Structure 1
């Protein structure tokens, strides 16, 4: 079994908890700007002192409302400033945060609130409050409910005005590294979500070693700042929040994904943290704008893409010849500079997680002047376990283990992980815990991959998602799906073929890209049902499938596909909140399309 370890850089004290930094920085440098809050068309700075005071006031309100140390408080909201205030206030009161996706159904909310035994729930909107009301109908012990849009933070602050400072201090210091900090319910592609228990030490150990180690360069630039737009109910975004607060980099929030582009331009971050779909959208948008500008612009864009990829693969200025350096300099003025300007002009680095980015996008963005460091991990590992690093970015891998982390590959190819970032248990589920963590302390991730001689990890698929065809061929669907999904017209792809004679795929079209295609091809009135069989659309999707097949053997190739007349979405029930395809539900709901592929 191949193992690879990286020594830890920061040993977090046993007494530390996540709320400490807010109060320490608020006392030591109260005038330092730590957050910028979106107000109207601008960004209002929030100092360390102001943030501390707001967190303390809300924490007192929770204490006055009867929240005791170790009690769970659920938080259901989009990514916004108030989430971060409430999150740290929950910790300051000695309680445990339980994030809930704001898109969750009443049934999902009922499960999380009841299973966690939440003492209180903070929701964002009146619509969320209505969902919660439905969810609580069958729950005997009703939690307290506060609504952000109806002044929850002000209400709590006023309610806790008489709670002494000493009481708050005692509450905060009562929680240490071993104590539970949060229960994050895994979105789950099958079955009910499991509550993943992460301690203060899990989160702080991960965050502080990330800051001091692999990504320290991101925090050494002038006025480091990041725009957070991923759902804070997701473990990746939650860890990012902690990293930014711990590092002192300026944090800003975007609650609406549709506003990301203008918010990037106005906030001007120095680095970005996202999922591959975000970077795919940026690339596809640029490609479609070039296509809409006519043949010359389209040719220039694709030549720029080729030059960016070649420059990146040659390892930049140190390996590129004179001709390639000249071409890249030309395209920097024509294409890359405009792309960077669209992100605010200060962005030079990004971190990608959640699923595979792919080498094509990795090389393009590095060549265009925005280097993306791909990482990997799970909720059970406090989000990241590995990440690529500045100066040693091996595109196509998910990087080396973080400081203090050990990875190994089992005999069956499964990636195993050890470290202080690994969770201790699933909430109220000892059987699932025993299944995930073996007697030697290895966490079985369920991901299949390899570790090279330099310690770089490459993920090839999910153990439970491996397809075995009727001919006995093992096929990892992930790499095939990632390459197909990279096409501008494609939204989702699900590769199938278990016990079937060949591999096939269900493919959906991207609504935004399709609207642009319809306009460019004078087909504005065409319906999705008509377009999914349009020869030009089918040919375009076939090109994506053909390109994806280049990376696998003949037996693993996608032989047939069908374009569906709908998209997979969270609302349709076919995607988890973290945008993973629920394969069993897709297979059930589109069984006729699947059968048609094989008959």
Structure 2
């Protein structure tokens, strides 16, 4: 290692070092030979005497597909990207030292909130690490975690890292085959499951997992005792005789430019890909994002989105750890109705929700307003008076008071905010799918602006961010400090592919060199596949997606998402719609209606949702089922859809962008049905709710080929 370690450097000495080929890295007193900057990456550990020591891990490339590989960090000489890299466990140790007696987590059990301090949290992760080692976890192998968010999920995650393995989240509703793929691909030695329902999935595939050594169930008692199957209590005790020095040595050997965790993509165009994130990817981005958004100590969040994805891990696990916050775990039925109850109890200071969640919160607020005269009259006056001006101020990102009277603000707005548990929320955030502009305007008018963020699993989390003092409606914000964003091959309007650069860009896809090279160009830029542009103030707007462009027979390029979103906004009974027209003479549309979802199978039912039934009743229709609408071609519903489509067509920029035919399908799109999947390259998690997911367009074209061909018959 060619390094020079010192605490102070004079300008003369620094100049001499530069002439000899040395480089000074960042604001700290540390230098390293230029060759090392180009061909090595390193972690940094601060010594007690103030001297900074560099521990290098050999790395010749910005990417790797090897589980035990290392990458060259994208560090810079000065600025945010020059921050010394640290491992996640080092960040955790700093948190324990700074916030040891503060609550790190809280979960409600037997009607009471049970809290865990940072000191207790660390000790439990340490015990889990020893138990993983006792059960045979090998270095750079996976620990699969299958279940709803809980303290045990966090402890298994961090414990796996401490023991030298990788935490690998598996989505709750994954089939046995999906679990098999992830567990096998990640070479998971141990699988941690929530309950017997999840355990059964693993037992069906156990014999096909050559690396599997043990299974741990973290909720409820085991229904049947089996070899290598443990309860959580048994698991936490089993490693007690493992020497602490073994865990110490593993932690000391970890480098910030090595893999820390894996997150699996949805596999919309093939097998799921394991996104490898380094320690530095996580710790550096958390720090930068926290600074940009004004994170304070002791902030509070609610964990309810699937932890198998990068976003909830970023916001629920790593961000609080960096800033000494507390994560409250929602109930397992949060997405079925209990989330608002938890929010009202916890009153978070920050809250991240996908668009569908904000739509549900909006519905709750509308119900409150309509049923309370105390709220209804002032809000009505507000909507017809001060409201529009306030909306405009929020569109422009200003922070002017939306109400003319502080008394009205405190008595009415605070009451509304409290009704959904957001009365002390400093940052309401969203991502993962386009959110309707009127939803953004609605919350802005109520002084609860929703801030859009944008990022990929491959960018370790958010790459652009909106903050309360600097945002624009429909924009996903500005680039996080130290990160880089460029528009590749922009057209005359400034639209082009969005590309990412910086220390948040992932290491590579596990064992998939070809896919990694497709994502990263020769200069290390990550190509997102999303189309966007910057405005004059540096705000980024997403305007489409490369693979979703429809090219008609006449050669016109048409982005389908804006048209689909406009129709859903115009006709609220529509759940999903997909524009058809690639290589066709005109555009058509497949439409599905909002229906209830079976909570067990997640399959769509025939019954319309209460929202959809209300829409029907407002039109004078008595339909309550999808089949009733489709079989009778309910004239009132069909007329409403056509009128909505007429309004969308009226806004079309050309005749080629007008939809000429459409059909209502007999059932909604779902992931289980093969029509929906997680948005590729998004940081936000999958939810079993159509509007928050990406259409698997090639699959839908194949599945509904006969229906589509009927639309194009002369």
TM-score, normalized by length of structure 1?
A: 0.89
Aligned residue among 308, 314, 329 for 1:233: 308
Judged with a 3 Å threshold, the aligned counterparts in structure 2 of structure 1 residues 396 and 319 are, in CA distance, closer, same or farther, namely: closer
CA offset digits 1:186-231 (Å, max 9, x no partner): 1122211111111111111111110112x11x536xx521112111
SS of equivalent residue, structure 1 residue 428: coil
Q: Which has the larger radius of gyration?
A: 2
Between stretches 474-483 and 464-473, larger displacement belongs to: 474-483
Between stretches 575-584 and 415-424, larger displacement belongs to: 575-584
Pair 1:583 & 2:690 matched: no
Judged with a 3 Å threshold, the aligned counterparts in structure 2 of structure 1 residues 130 and 542 are, in CA distance, closer, same or farther, namely: same
Pair 1:471 & 2:554 matched: yes
SS of equivalent residue, structure 1 residue 314: helix
Aligned residue among 148, 169, 173 for 1:99: 169
Contact 1:307 1:327 in 2 (8 A): no
CA offset digits 1:545-597 (Å, max 9, x no partner): 45555664133233433332212222323222522222222222233332333
Judged with a 3 Å threshold, the aligned counterparts in structure 2 of structure 1 residues 284 and 142 are, in CA distance, closer, same or farther, namely: same
SS of equivalent residue, structure 1 residue 119: strand
Judged with a 3 Å threshold, the aligned counterparts in structure 2 of structure 1 residues 534 and 39 are, in CA distance, closer, same or farther, namely: same
Aligned residue among 610, 614, 621 for 1:515: 610
Contact 2:286 2:322 in 1 (8 A): yes
CA offset digits 1:106-126 (Å, max 9, x no partner): 221111111221121111122
Aligned residue among 58, 73, 80 for 1:9: 80
Structure 2: which 5+ residue stretches go unaligned?
Answer: 1-75, 222-229, 491-495, 597-607, 679-685, 687-692
Q: 1:90 maps to which residue? A: 160
Q: 1:531 maps to which residue? A: 629
CA offset digits 1:366-409 (Å, max 9, x no partner): 22121211111111111211111221111111111111111111
- Structure (1/2) with the larger helix percentage: 1
Contact 1:308 1:328 in 2 (8 A): no
Aligned residue among 410, 413, 435 for 2:518: 435
Aligned residue among 465, 469, 477 for 1:387: 465
Aligned residue among 706, 709, 714 for 1:592: 706
Q: 2:182 maps to which residue? A: 112
SS of equivalent residue, structure 1 residue 25: helix
Aligned residue among 215, 231, 244 for 1:165: 244
Pair 1:368 & 2:446 matched: yes
Q: Distance in 1 between matches of 2:387 and 2:710?
A: 41
SS of equivalent residue, structure 1 residue 347: coil
Judged with a 3 Å threshold, the aligned counterparts in structure 2 of structure 1 residues 301 and 586 are, in CA distance, closer, same or farther, namely: farther
Q: Distance in 2 between matches of 1:317 and 1:432?
A: 40
Contact 2:188 2:211 in 1 (8 A): no
Q: Distance in 2 between matches of 1:318 and 1:94?
A: 45
Judged with a 3 Å threshold, the aligned counterparts in structure 2 of structure 1 residues 308 and 434 are, in CA distance, closer, same or farther, namely: same
Contact 2:191 2:212 in 1 (8 A): no
Aligned residue among 64, 83, 89 for 2:134: 64
Judged with a 3 Å threshold, the aligned counterparts in structure 2 of structure 1 residues 159 and 485 are, in CA distance, closer, same or farther, namely: farther
Alpha-carbon shift at residue 328 of structure 1 (Å) = 11
Q: Distance in 2 between matches of 1:391 and 1:424?
A: 33
Pair 1:249 & 2:325 matched: yes
Contact 1:12 1:201 in 2 (8 A): no
Q: Which protein, 1 or 2, shows the higher relative CO under an 8 Å CA cutoff with sep ≥ 6?
A: 1
Judged with a 3 Å threshold, the aligned counterparts in structure 2 of structure 1 residues 526 and 152 are, in CA distance, closer, same or farther, namely: same
Aligned residue among 564, 571, 581 for 2:672: 571
Q: Give the 5 Å matches for 1:450-529.
A: 450-486=533-569, 488-511=572-595, 514-518=609-613, 521=617, 526-529=624-627
Between stretches 345-354 and 413-422, larger displacement belongs to: 345-354
Contact 1:122 1:148 in 2 (8 A): yes
Contact 1:60 1:161 in 2 (8 A): yes
Alpha-carbon shift at residue 310 of structure 1 (Å) = 4.1
Contact 1:245 1:251 in 2 (8 A): no
Structure 1: which 5+ residue stretches go unaligned?
Answer: none
Q: 1:219 maps to which residue? A: 296
Alpha-carbon shift at residue 169 of structure 1 (Å) = 1.8
Q: Distance in 2 between matches of 1:560 and 1:94?
A: 57
Q: Give the 5 Å matches for 1:58-457.
A: 58-149=128-219, 150=221, 152-213=231-292, 215-216=293-294, 218-219=295-296, 223-240=298-315, 241-254=317-330, 255-256=332-333, 257-258=335-336, 259-287=338-366, 304=383, 308=387, 310-315=389-394, 325-326=403-404, 337-411=415-489, 413-457=496-540
Q: Distance in 2 between matches of 1:331 and 1:501?
A: 54
Q: Distance in 2 between matches of 1:562 and 1:581?
A: 17
Alpha-carbon shift at residue 48 of structure 1 (Å) = 1.2
Judged with a 3 Å threshold, the aligned counterparts in structure 2 of structure 1 residues 519 and 435 are, in CA distance, closer, same or farther, namely: closer
Contact 2:300 2:350 in 1 (8 A): yes
Between stretches 31-40 and 308-317, larger displacement belongs to: 308-317
Judged with a 3 Å threshold, the aligned counterparts in structure 2 of structure 1 residues 67 and 511 are, in CA distance, closer, same or farther, namely: same
Q: 2:493 maps to which residue? A: none
Contact 1:8 1:209 in 2 (8 A): no
Q: Distance in 2 between matches of 1:346 and 1:415?
A: 35
